[in-house]
Structure 1
Amino acid sequence: MAKDNLTAVLYGVEDLRLEQRPIPEISDNEVLLEMDCVGICGSDVHYLVHGRIGDFVVNKPMIIGHEAAGVVVKCGKNVKNLVVGDRVAIEPGVPCRLCQFCKIGKYNLCPDMVFCATPPYDGNLTKYYRHAADFCFKLPPHVTMEEGALLEPLSVGVHACRRADVGLGSEVLILGAGPIGLVTLLVAQSMGASNIVITDLSQNRLDVAKSLGAMHTVLISKDKTEEQTVKEIQGLMPNSPDKTIDCCGAESTTRLAILSTRSGGCVVIVGMGGNESKLPLINACAREVDIRGVFRYCNDYSTALALVASGKVDAKRLVTHHFDITETAKAFETSRYGHGGAIKVMIHCQPRDKNNNKPF
């Protein structure tokens, strides 16, 4: 096996380095993966810029990256679901499987979750990485490695739409047209939403959302009051949105979500903003607007893969930039500042298309 295990390691704020790391040893229930590609998530950038997200603080060097796909090169002796050569998408969070949350099927709430690139645990922007075999999903031959990596953000969209009970005829408002807002748009369409309005501060991102099938877009502007924006959103739907998904999590967008949603509707908060927000809760209570949180995803990877494999969701349209792992610094700069209209930036640990049966 090659000894090259080039790895992207975050040492602290604005301190991301490339270095060689030992190729990891695997346990009986794990597989060793030759990593193919890793997408850059907003959380990765946040750790680089701020060194923490809430209570998760980078106190020691941490391998970055968690949106990933790779190829199995070694299997532990207990692994039955995979063989050497399988191309897989990696669900990056591995729970304990024993606590009450795991036992009732809500393993995303497991207090002992080991999640890639969430301190103190390492991520997978590295040439060789070990992972629990039961949290690796074999890709059909026609699904590319890049699409496999995109299953991570797509699973967030699946979980959000399920939490909102999006279904046939739903009128959906999505706040935020970043990568998570856009995958939520794609999933809501696949689940039968009849009308989707999406908002953002950037007209460029709204144009992308329109090209992906959003019926209406609303540009958030300081020149408009909250009341004016609510009226604009509600005017784009016959009955106002019955499902609202806040992919920003800022106080302003969560307020907008509650005020824009029709009575008896549902607001789902995906984005994570400040620890505390001033919200119109009496308004929500008086109109029986449900408010639900989202934390990552749970039992959603298989669904995300099915949506991509069937062609119902064309997630690859979100990938705007490609870089080699040796260009990690440039890739992060592109994602951080949105250079060239960046939406999803993909870092390749192997030559591009090496493991694809068709060009991406």
Structure 2
Amino acid sequence: MWDIFEIPEHFDESGTFSGTLVHRGQHTVIGDCPRKSGTSGHLTLWALENTTIPQPAKHEVQLRMKAVGICGSDVHYWEHGQCGRFVVTSPMILGHEASGIVSAVGEAVTTLAVGDRVAIEPGIPCYFCSFCKEGRYNLCVDMKFNATPPVDGSLRQFYCHPANLCFKLPDHVSCEEGALLEPLAVAVHSCRRGNVQLGSRVLICGAGPIGLVCLLTAKAMGAEKVVITDILNSRLEVAKKLGADVTVLADIKDPQRMAEKINAACSWLPDVTIECSGAASSLQSAVFATRPGGNIVTVGRGPRNVEVPIADASSREIDIKGVFRYVNCYPTALQMVASGLVDVKPLISHRFPLTESVKAFETAKSGADSAIKVIIECG
């Protein structure tokens, strides 16, 4: 079985690294892997490694992986060795936007069978803590989430996962669409947190993959109007094709003036703003642009500390809410796609085989050739 690993800069191939799989069998370095300046302790090496095929535990299924999407967090780990507070300290398999075909089942599994095609919800909660019992398992402190250090991801040929977190795909839903249920679930959770409903007027900051699925989801949930911003005209053009009512180029550095530009383009104030870029100035503009009494949902991950015009938000009773992954959103995301209410296929811009993963990540990072969502085909 072939896996894609990222290896931290301080890893010594001549020795033993506790918990790593790099020395299990032979591995071949793929792509150009020079030392990156200014990234002490971060990635310098990609390895395509032949490892033992995992066998499913009692409540797990073994999956022959089909499609894995590259997320912004994957790119962060690859480029910087960390994403927010999560830091790569030992070799780790990437990938969490995934789908596959059941190739074996654990002895207690009754809901899935060999040959079933499934989408994989990548977070495994403890099920016993107060957050899990309250139904907010995304906040579980013992969550094991694919490709979040130190947990390996699913960018490989075979992978085992709890059966209850694998969602069977209808015949007419492709494995690529199944992989995109993960970012779509983020959008479902974000729109729920923002209270998007019939008649809502929504501002989305950032027209990357998450911003675009938030656009699709907001429309599906009944939003009357959606305006979306980005620094690239090419992405705004895609947003327009996907149903954005208004697109605004984010070309003004001053947050208040940028908010004025957004409001002028719309002639209305957004009830809900979904910030997907992670840029500090964009969050600041969101505060100035959102109508009094509205909601701001922070989805994008940027600097850990951001200066926010909190007095403006407070005096106008604007609620600022965080988003961390999703909770109980996969069934809704699957229903949206299966019913035709949401079409995620236009988001897929590039496809690469597993052996060309480095090229896939370079494309996702640079946005070359108008890249939106890059898919790696595992088999």
The TM-score normalised by the length of structure 1 is: 0.94
Partner of 1:356: none
From 11, 18, 23, give the equivalent of 2:7.
11
Partner of 1:210: 240
Q: Structure 1: how far apart are the matches of 2:86 and 2:307?
A: 24
User: Is 227-236 or 182-191 further displaced after alignment?
Assistant: 227-236
Q: Structure 2: how far apart are the matches of 1:310 and 1:214?
A: 21
From 259, 275, 284, give the equivalent of 2:313.
284
Cα deviations by residue, 1:234-289 (Å, 9 ceiling, x for unpaired): 12334300100000222111111111000011000001111111111111111110
Partner of 1:249: 278
**Aligned residues of 2:348 and 2:374 also touching (Cα < 8 A):** yes
Letter in 2 for 1:105: G
**Aligned residues of 1:40 and 1:332 also touching (Cα < 8 A):** yes
The TM-score normalised by the length of structure 2 is: 0.89
**Aligned residues of 1:58 and 1:120 also touching (Cα < 8 A):** yes
**Aligned residues of 2:4 and 2:46 also touching (Cα < 8 A):** yes
Cα deviations by residue, 1:102-123 (Å, 9 ceiling, x for unpaired): 0010000000000000000000
**Which structure 2 residues correspond to residues 23-102 of structure 1 after superposition, within 5 A?**
23-102=53-132
**Aligned residues of 2:6 and 2:91 also touching (Cα < 8 A):** yes
Shift of 1:294: 0.2
Q: Structure 2: how far apart are the matches of 1:254 and 1:339?
A: 26
1:318 equivalent to 2:347? Answer yes
Letter in 1 for 2:91: P
Partner of 2:260: 231
Cα deviations by residue, 1:54-100 (Å, 9 ceiling, x for unpaired): 33111111011110000001111111211111100000001000100
Matched residue SS, 2:196:
coil
Figure out how many residues of one structure are paired with residues of the other and give that number: 345
**Aligned residues of 2:120 and 2:179 also touching (Cα < 8 A):** yes
Shift of 1:229: 1.6
Matched residue SS, 1:236:
helix
**Aligned residues of 2:84 and 2:301 also touching (Cα < 8 A):** no
From 336, 346, 352, give the equivalent of 1:307.
336
Shift of 1:336: 1.0
Unmatched segments (≥5 aa) in structure 2 = 9-42
Q: Structure 1: how far apart are the matches of 2:103 and 2:59?
A: 14
Shift of 1:226: 2.5
**Structure 1 residue runs of 4 or more that deviate by more than 6 Å after TM superposition:** none
Q: Structure 1: how far apart are the matches of 2:263 and 2:357?
A: 43
From 241, 254, 259, give the equivalent of 2:288.
259
Partner of 2:375: 346
Q: Structure 2: how far apart are the matches of 1:332 and 1:62?
A: 15
Identity of aligned residues (%): 54
Matched residue SS, 2:160:
strand
Q: Structure 1: how far apart are the matches of 2:319 and 2:82?
A: 30
Letter in 2 for 1:349: C
Shift of 1:323: 0.7
**Aligned residues of 1:15 and 1:48 also touching (Cα < 8 A):** no
Shift of 1:231: 1.4
**Aligned residues of 1:171 and 1:237 also touching (Cα < 8 A):** no
From 138, 149, 157, give the equivalent of 1:127.
157
**Aligned residues of 1:95 and 1:110 also touching (Cα < 8 A):** yes
Q: Structure 1: how far apart are the matches of 2:255 and 2:296?
A: 17
1:240 equivalent to 2:236? Answer no
